[in-house]
A and B are shown apart, each in its own frame.
Chain A
Amino acid sequence: MEVLSIFLILLTALLIPGITGMTKAKIAGRKMPSVFQPIKDIIRLFKKGAIYSTSTSFIYKVAPLVYLSSVSVSILFLSVGSKISLISFHGDFLLFAYLLAIGKFFMIISAMDTGSSFEGMGANREALYSMLVEPAFFIIIASLALFTDYTSLNELFSNMHISSNFSYVIGIAASYVLLNTAMTENSRMPVDDPKTHLELTMIHEVMILDNSGFDLAIIHISSWLKFSIYGTLISKFIIVTTLPFYIQAVYFIIIQMILAIVIGFLESFRARNKMEKNPQWIIMLSAIAIVAFLSTLIISQKIILN
């Protein structure tokens, strides 16, 4: 059954980019592409050969593999609704976060491996922003840990409901931070505009300028999976765990779809930040996370007010 939840996460991962694309096209007044358009693109890529730059080394070839592997392995820590994840232990979210980080590490050095004048730009922005966003994630987890007394990713989220109504307050704050963390981690609006045409202002897209074929495909897949991962985390706040599993699964899919639409909306109506404003914006997430932490302290009445 645990495998089922993994399957659900993977399934929604395939759909999210399509739905987001549709939403954005609708808002922009364009003709909506098919939901499966991104998947078709990927399949096309899988059929292609590849071109490797002369200045690259084996790092460049290894990096996409590591990236996809890291993201995929992170999924093992997650589950849908009340299901237990495949791997769960105290402090597994640390491994989760650092696995994502190792993937990112490799993506950054692979971008640098090309020796291109553009890819370095993306690489260092990616490195800086993901470094700045990391505390936010940990602090949110810490708030949850404080709130629920658990220290594994699965239990943290599943036990949110049982505690009290206050969990929703924290849930909302956490969802906000997680959503924006997802946006930052995936280099979407407002940190980065994936559809821009100017390499100078890109982050993620410019890092993979030289990737092609199989590598490019798995990089795309990895970013989808990442969205799905964050969506799964957020969905855990909302799904009522007492319900039977099939209903939870439906809930889950709906939440993921809504998330995709929300992202589409956000991307359509938000403007991209000025590049030097980005750090401030990301640090703001940490600040919000700290507020969440403090309110957890107060709400859970764990401090002795005398």
Chain B
Amino acid sequence: MIILYFSIAFILASLVFFFKNQTVNRIMSGLFLLSQIGFNFYSISNIGKYDSIYYKFDALGGLFSIVLSILSLATFYHSYLYFQRHEFSKKQESAYYSALIMLIASMMSANYAENIALLWVSIEATTLFVSLLIFHERTKDALEAAWKYLFISSVGVAIAFMGILFFSMAPGINGLSTLSLNNLIMNAKDINPLWLKIAFLLVLTGFSAKMGIFPLHTVTVDAHTVAPPPISAFISTSLMNVGFLGIFRIFTIIAKTSTLYWAQNVLLIVGIISITMSAIQILRTKHYKRMFAFSSLEHMGIVALGLAAGGIGYYAAILHLVFHSFVKASLFYQIGQVHSIYKSYYFKDTGKYFKFYSLGGLAFLLCFVCITAIPPSGLFISEFLIFKALFIQNRIIVAILALVLLTVILYVFGKNTLHLLYADKPENVDLNNVTINKFETLSQFVLLGLVIYLGISPPIFFTDLINSAISILK
């Protein structure tokens, strides 16, 4: 089935790429979305089953695929709006769409990959496609960011590959299923702990570029800055989920061994440094998208802390990722609208957004509330659970430090949000020829509403997915 999906994606992407026609783009995108959703339904209803020997529809992958599908819908819609607002050549547009389709397909592949080498291949593929998308606007900054992202990610992914190789050391692993996750988990106890440590360390470092945590978080931030907003939304959400997945898969291998405590310590260090980096860098930034990027760094740091805490922290970390995806995506979609008014992402060029476009202002406020984990945001609940887990694990100093840093981030975020919404109107803002589609804002409300709803009363289906995703760790 998954092969069919890939073939469809590939054919559609190629058609888009070669036709260079807007109508074709739209039709193919629509078809792709259909197949995406269809495949997603299929995969969800077949959780626990293998699809070819390399893929398995597991709960976590399923969860992320749902998030991915929802965000794909939104991203295609916002991409459509993005192309309405900006002038691009047909070639660029079709390149954009085909890369987007391939990106989504490769993320799906990463979500369901059962073989960690294949997981690695998928992640490397996402890097390639996403760097093309980052480069989409063809500016110098875009070129720089795309280069940095591509290069550092590639180096990182290469390092991660080295880590993956170490797993193949496990005794009794042979034949085609060499790097099958299931196999590795079963044999994990027999692997030399030192191997496990090195492997985990290398994979963590390598995939940190994808997940956007310390130490290779820097390029992800740059990528956010220049990518078109719908793509930034993707980089910050689904792609980070994929990076997380990469680390999480390795983590599941370790979870059953005596190395677990060590790995959690490393994650703790990574998490707290990520939050620190985010808190100090966000103070300096003058660019909305960079601010959001640092906020993503912070949230990924929190997720790492969640993994490090263990127990309820696992659950909370995944919950956090899902919520973060929706909120951050709507923030980026929203900033796209803001850009259409002010033609700039810099703080200094903005102000009085609430007056100009109240509905957008409300959406932005709600985004702000949600992303900073203030109730009614679901992120509040997940963060609460993570801190609870940290306290239970006696990681009190780290927890308190993180709380302090989060407060700083909240301050900066709040200051700049209020600046955008209420600061004095900047000069040379022309509002007459700005038309904003109300449905655009509505789509953000839908995403945010989803976060609030899932936070307050998560459906059983949803909690079951998360629970079965982390059941492997217990």
User: Is there any pair of Cβ atoms, one from A and one from B, under 8 angstroms apart in the complex?
Assistant: no
